């Protein structure tokens, strides 16, 4: 990477990190803590509160992406971070589960993922794009691991409301990074006309990635409607869940870094991509088997395998989307991509809560395995794009 590419990659990864740390701090404890609010005895309502963030994200990702093509990436990112911060503070003031739902919905209205990904793509070459996206993915994964360590400790002292206040503060720090640290966007991208939505909706390769990111994040959120309960059943108190999560995430980064980039350079990106999807299918079947008699070692190993597959897909999918998309419609393409990602969050939370309430954890893991299997079939015809100058 050039010095400018490193600065762009690290600063934009920092924006993702600050925003995602706030989101992830809530995730491990939300289902347990939301039960203490009025209306918190309904798992379906808790699932809605967890997933509605993804619904509003999904509605607004395309408008944000299109706006970034016309108005400039940095302006759109700053506006989205301010909206996200406002939603966080609203959730902090909530006195009921319905108030949490409203705050989470406003959080989701700060839909900046497409604009951030497009700006990173604007400032990196094809040959280093996957590495740049992997830095972003690594920052997200590290924040997830850190949140699993900090969330139980913080919620014991400041509660769920305090976590949301911290989330809003981190978003405001992200605004500072955008304004003073991120390199100026290339003039040709800041001034160019808006890309056409119809152009990216007819692209078969992009549509495969859109379907995949929807399924991946639906499964990710749905899993966490059951994983904390399994760990508790296995005898691990919730404040110690990070003992399993953190080593699994960190070890998966080592595996990803040692395999993904060398294999991509040798032309095996498609094989690695499909293998990662298949690995998550295996994990869901393993969780179905472990559910009968949960034990910590088995759950730890399955979560390690999940994060190995998940991190590979998180690094490769946005890189592939940015490389397949026409440069003048990159914001639009990534807007559609992130819309499906956000809708996946919503679908995973809502469907996961419904499945757990009415059919139990086995049905949840079967549904996740079937969804990943369908994605494997959809992704099978994919071809890795050639590198452009």
C-alpha span between 375 and 211 (Å, rounded):
7
> In the structure, what pLDDT confidence band is assigned to residue 279 with cuts at 50, 70 and 90?
very high
Q: What are the residue boundaries of the structural domains of the chain, listed by start? A: 3-192+202-379
> In the structure, what pLDDT confidence band is assigned to residue 284 with cuts at 50, 70 and 90?
very high
> In the structure, what pLDDT confidence band is assigned to residue 176 with cuts at 50, 70 and 90?
very high
Give residue 190's pLDDT: 44
Predicted TM-score of the model (pTM): 0.72
* Residue 89: pLDDT over 90: yes
Greatest mean pLDDT among 63-77, 123-137, 239-253, 277-291: 277-291
Return the DSSP state at 152.
Answer: H
Which two tokens mark 95?
Answer: 């006195």
Question: What would you measure as the largest C-alpha separation in the chain, in angstroms?
Answer: 59
Measured CA to CA in angstroms, residue 31 lies from 27, 47, 269, 343 at distances of 8, 8, 37, 19
Q: Average pLDDT of 7-23?
A: 80
> In the structure, what pLDDT confidence band is assigned to residue 90 with cuts at 50, 70 and 90?
very high
For 294-318, write each residue's pLDDT tens digit.
888 899 999 999 988 988 888 788 7
Question: What is the dihedral angle through the alpha carbons of 217, 218, 219, 222, rounded to the nearest 10 degrees?
Answer: 120
- Say how far residue 157 (Cα) sits from the centre of its chain: 27
* Residue 223: pLDDT over 80: yes
Q: Which of 235, 262, 251 is nearest to 306 (CA)?
A: 251
C-alpha span between 263 and 107 (Å, rounded):
38
The residue to which tokens 């990074």 are assigned: 177
CB 194 within 8 A of CB 76: no
> Residue 360 CB: number of other CB atoms within 10 A?
12
Let me know the angle formed at the C-alpha of 72 by 70 and 75, rounded to the nearest 5 degrees: 125
Q: Comparing 20-29, 36-45, 294-303, 337-346, which segment has the lowest mean pLDDT?
A: 20-29
Which two tokens mark 352?
Answer: 């996961």
Residue bearing the bigger pLDDT, 344 or 342: 344
**What CATH code would you report for 3-192+202-379?**
1.20.1250.20
- Say how far residue 52 (Cα) sits from the centre of its chain: 14
> Residue 265 CB: number of other CB atoms within 10 A?
11
Phi (first) and psi of residue 59, to 5 degrees:
-65, -35
HSE at residue 206, side-chain half, CA atoms within 13 A, is 25
CB 199 within 8 A of CB 329: yes
C-alpha span between 25 and 169 (Å, rounded):
13
* Residue 193: pLDDT over 60: no
Q: At what angle do helices 126-180 and 3-33 cross, to 10 degrees?
A: 70
Q: 370: which residues sit within 8 A by CB, 6+ positions away? A: none
Helices (H), 93-196: 97-108, 113-122, 126-180, 187-191
* Residue 77: pLDDT over 90: yes
Give residue 192's pLDDT: 53
C-alpha span between 85 and 231 (Å, rounded):
32
Q: Comparing 142-156, 189-203, 214-228, which segment has the lowest mean pLDDT?
A: 189-203
> In the structure, what pLDDT confidence band is assigned to residue 29 with cuts at 50, 70 and 90?
confident
């Amino acid at each position: 990477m050039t010095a400018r590419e490193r600065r762009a990659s690290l600063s934009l990864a920092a924006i993702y990190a600050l925003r995602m740390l706030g989101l992830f701090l809530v995730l491990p404890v939300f289902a347990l803590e939301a039960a203490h609010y009025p209306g918190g005895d309904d798992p379906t309502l808790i699932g809605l509160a967890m997933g509605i963030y993804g619904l509003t994200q999904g509605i607004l990702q395309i408008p944000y992406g299109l706006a970034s093509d016309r108005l400039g990436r940095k302006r759109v990112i700053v506006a989205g971070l301010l909206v996200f911060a406002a939603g966080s503070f609203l959730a902090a003031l909530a006195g009921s589960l319905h108030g949490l739902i409203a705050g989470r919905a406003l959080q989701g209205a700060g839909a900046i993922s497409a604009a951030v990904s497009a700006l990173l793509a604007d400032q990196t070459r094809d040959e280093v794009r996957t590495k740049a996206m992997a830095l972003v993915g690594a920052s997200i994964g590290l924040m997830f691991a850190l949140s699993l360590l900090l969330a139980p400790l913080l919620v014991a002292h400041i509660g769920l409301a305090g976590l949301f206040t911290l989330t809003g503060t981190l978003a405001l720090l992200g605004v500072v990074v955008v304004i003073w640290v991120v390199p100026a966007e290339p003039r040709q991208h800041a001034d160019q006309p808006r890309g056409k939505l119809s152009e990216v909706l007819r692209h078969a390769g992009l549509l495969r990635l859109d379907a995949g990111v929807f399924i991946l994040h639906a499964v990710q959120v749905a899993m966490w409607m059951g994983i904390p309960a399994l760990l508790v059943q296995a005898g691990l108190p919730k404040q110690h869940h990070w003992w399993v999560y953190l080593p699994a995430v960190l070890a998966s980064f080592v595996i990803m870094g040692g395999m993904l980039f060398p294999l991509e350079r040798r032309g095996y990106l498609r094989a690695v991509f499909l293998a990662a999807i298949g690995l998550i299918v295996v994990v869901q079947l393993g969780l179905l088997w472990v559910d009968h008699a949960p034990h910590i070692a088995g759950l730890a190993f399955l979560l390690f395998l999940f994060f190995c597959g998940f991190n590979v897909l998180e690094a490769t999918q946005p890189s592939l989307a940015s490389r397949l998309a026409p440069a003048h419609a990159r914001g639009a393409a990534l807007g559609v991509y992130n819309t499906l990602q956000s809708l996946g969050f919503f679908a995973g939370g809502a469907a996961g809560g419904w499945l757990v309430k009415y059919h139990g954890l086995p049905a949840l893991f079967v549904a996740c395995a079937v969804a990943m299997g369908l994605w494997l079939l959809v992704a099978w015809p994919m071809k890795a794009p050639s590198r452009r100058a």
